[in-house]
Amino acid sequence: MNLAGLEIEQIEPRLRYKVGYEVGFACPDVDDLVQESLRRFVDACLSEKLRDPEAAGAFLNGICRNVILEYRRRLHRDGPMPEVEPDQPMKGLSHAGLFELREAIEAAMKQLAPRDAVVLRAFYIEERSVEQILEMTGLTLTNFRVVLCRAKEKFRRIYSSSVKSGGASGH
């Protein structure tokens, strides 16, 4: 098949190599990405979107690059959220220091939106399962992940600013 001066049979192995190089030759989606790139290229040629037939190779390369970027975005969007490693427990904290720490945490929790505080408390303090929290709050799994991530960030900002201003641990 000849489109815009390119023989698909000749260009497909090169395209396959390019996709394999970009996403990994062992990736199970290489063939799908090649076929999607070729499909979009054929559609563009048939709908006369290719302005310069001399630049057909560059046009196909751009289409392929876009398909690969969309694939990577979909992988990152649909993949599991990375967990933040918990801070190491403080050693040698006195009873007074522990009391001040608990007060600082409680003060920061009170500054959060109610839903954020409920999710953080249930997940980290009460150690409830995700399923229990979803049932309790009515959130979807995706919404829960977003709420948890944003609530952690808000808590960190509030807590960090209280520590810097001397609100916690007497600093």
7-18 pLDDT, tens digit each: 778 888 999 999
CATH of the domain at 108: 1.10.10.10
Residue 169 lies in a domain: no
In whole angstroms, give the CA distance from residue 163 to residue 104.
8
CATH number at residue 32: 1.10.1740
Last residue of a domain, one of 44, 78, 112: 78
85 within a domain of the structure (yes/no): no
Residue pLDDT, tens place only, 80-93: 655 666 666 656 66
Q: Which domain holds residue 139?
A: 95-164
In a domain, 114, yes or no: yes
Q: What is the pLDDT of residues 122-139, one digit of tens each?
A: 998 888 999 999 999 999
CA distance 125 to 43: 55
Q: How many CB atoms lie within 10 A of CB 72?
A: 12
The whole-model pTM stands at 0.44
